[in-house]
Amino acid sequence: MNENAKTITFAVVAAVLGLGAYASLPKVGVSEKDVVNSVVGKPLFEKFTDPTVASTLKIVKYDPTQVRIAPFELARDKKSGAWVIPSHSSYPADAASQVSKVANAFIGLKILSVESTKADDQKLYGVIEPDATKMDAGETAFGTLVRMQDDKGEPLVDLIVGKTVRDDETKRYVRKSGSDAVYVAAFDPAPLTTDFSDWIEGDLLKLSANDVETLTIRDYNIIPTQRGGGQLDRDFDATVSYSTKDNKWNADSITVYTEAGDVPRTLTADEQINTAKLNEIKNALDSLKIVDVVRKPQGLAANLKADKQLLDDNEKILSLYNMGFVPVQTESGGLDLLSSSGELAVTLKDGVQYLLRFGKAAENVDMGTGDKAADATVALNRSLFVTARLDESKYPEPVLKTLPTTIAELDAIEASAKATESPATSDVPDMKDVEFAPAKPETATPADTPKTEAAKQEAATPTDAIKAETTEIPKVESPKLETPTDAPAAAPTETPATPSPAEKSPAGDQSNSNATLPKVRFVALQEEAAKTPAVAEAAKEAVKEMAKEAPAEAAAPAQPSETAPPSAPEVKPDVKADAKAEAQTEAKPEMKAESAPAPAATTAETEQEAKERLEAAREKINKENQRLIDERKDKIEAAKKKAAELNARFAEWYYEISDADYKRLRIKLDELIEKKGNASSPADNAGAAPGFGGGLPFNFPGN
């Protein structure tokens, strides 16, 4: 070996010895606590800044009331992006906002202080990671474990949340998994729930109590037999409907099953339907919550029509039986289910009908671990099979209008419609609303005033002028006889003075003829009209028409002049007409109906006009009929769509509801019928056996 090689060898050995000596020197100046304290004020998870990148969430906590570890897990579906619950058969979660709350609780979460770095202190601060093996050893100081990951599996959050910090509810002791250091952080653990119902759409049926119209109750049970089969024990069926008009429940039908057969049950005079209990059922349906879910076996569709493979698959059939549902072959070759605890059909106003089948009772079981609750007093859940369908009886065929084929048919239809629309006299004013002049003048006529002059003064008011015209004296008087042969003549009046030349003019004659008609003649017509409805109507119409055509000079009552001569001339023909008309009115009251003006004659309808009227009427009726048909069709389609959407939601799941909700939904016969005036007393059901005697035996498939 030459000198250079020796030199290099010595140098390497010296370096190695030097490094070893340095490593063996004691450490001074930096402790573990000093290193940990350097993180105070910094975020616990610096890389986690976006809550939307979270792809999984796992929460594990210790439940001291049921003495068990309660895990809960959520995951985002990679295809749909929707959140599901793997620990509950991947049931759809309504968790977007809930996950966001949890994620945001950790984003920017800062370390306020370091409480401890010793492993032995974890129990003191309640930050021991929840583990079933440690629980078996008697450990209970568990914290709540929270883990979040992104879609690549990289950790975003991994923290154990412990006890409250010294009576400060806003702060908690926390510890990262795999580290002994216990920190203090301002944290609200409220979003960290493992309750299944908090992460799903809790409203199972999505209905309003106000929309419930009909309830159909089938109260029966399936009693297992020693040979492994079952016996159907029926109690009663009942259909009740709610009337919004009367605000009460009515019994449509009640059938009780006895050993003698099916017996219709009617209410006695002192019985009534238990409204309070039925209203409770409505409210329970509105607020029904899901406690848990179990996935159905494949092959059982939402409409309960099973494929052929299911009937040959004993394992699937037994799984149904374990939930309390028994598949039964129908007469048509299909499949139906019987329930171990009866059924309830709920029909809404829109025709959508829910069918609720109640299965077996089951203890509260954690679906993640399969462990039953240790507390024997915990209420049992009830399995529930839900389907939806359409009750088309809620949409009867519309009553369509008859389509006329001839003018005669059209006229008959229009006449019938007009007769049913309103009474013929609906727009005719009542006679009591018409003001008539009194039969006698309100002021005395001077003794020296001729009778005809008094008549002129009386007829000078607007009302009297109208009434005088409505009598149409020329139509009722005999044209040639002074006095009708069947009535007494009027008493002769004083001989009138010779009229002046002015009074003999045609214009003056016509004016005097209208103005001097005696009021008593119209009074007689009024009195007869009160006795004869037909005349009354005609008189009313006459009064209306004449009021429109009253002369302007009749607008104000004429006042007797102080300079008038002591005796005014009378027109002799008017006096005779008065007498004749008065006698004719008394003798033939039935002619008074003709005093009303006759309607103008309508122009005859041509054949082409009649044809066009018929076509227009047919088109209008066709449109109205089509509107009714389309309206019914649209409502049915909307109800079918709603039922299909509900079935898509119910299709894959058995639901579990609480025992309390189950009891609110079920009703016995002695609860359905109660005594009037004594709601707390059960109805008298003498003669109604509690169940179907002997039952209906059958064997479960596969036995």
Each residue of 385-424: pLDDT tens digit?
Answer: 999 999 988 899 999 999 999 999 988 988 888 887 655 4
Do 294 and 90 touch, CB atoms closer than 8 A? Answer: no
pLDDT 10s digits, 542-552: 556 555 554 44
Q: Residue 444: is its pLDDT beyond 90? A: no
Provide the CA 413 distance to its chain's centre, in angstroms: 37
- pLDDT of 305: 55
Which pTM was predicted? 0.62
Do 291 and 380 touch, CB atoms closer than 8 A? Answer: no
The stretch 37-42 carries a mean pLDDT of 85
Eight-state DSSP code of residue 357? E
- pLDDT of 208: 94
Where is mean pLDDT largest: 98-112, 286-300, 573-587?
A: 98-112
- pLDDT of 34: 63
- Sorting pLDDT into bands at 50, 70 and 90, what band is 699? low
Task: Return the percentage of the chain with pLDDT > 90, whole number.
Answer: 38
In this structure, the number of other CB atoms found within 10 A of the CB of residue 75 comes to 19
pLDDT greater at residue 521 or residue 283: 283
Eight-state DSSP code of residue 400? P
The stretch 288-307 carries a mean pLDDT of 74
Between CA 277 and CA 667 the distance in angstroms is 8
The mean pLDDT value of the chain amounts to 74
- pLDDT of 418: 85
- Sorting pLDDT into bands at 50, 70 and 90, what band is 135? confident
- pLDDT of 11: 61
Q: Which residues pair with 165 in a beta bridge?
A: 168
Q: Which residues contact 503 (CB under 8 A, 6 or more apart)?
A: 509, 512, 569, 571
pLDDT greater at residue 156 or residue 509: 156
Q: Which residues contact 510 (CB under 8 A, 6 or more apart)?
A: none
- Sorting pLDDT into bands at 50, 70 and 90, what band is 471? very low
- pLDDT of 375: 45
The stretch 112-127 carries a mean pLDDT of 93
The stretch 667-672 carries a mean pLDDT of 95
Q: Pull the structure tokens for residue 66.
A: 């049921």
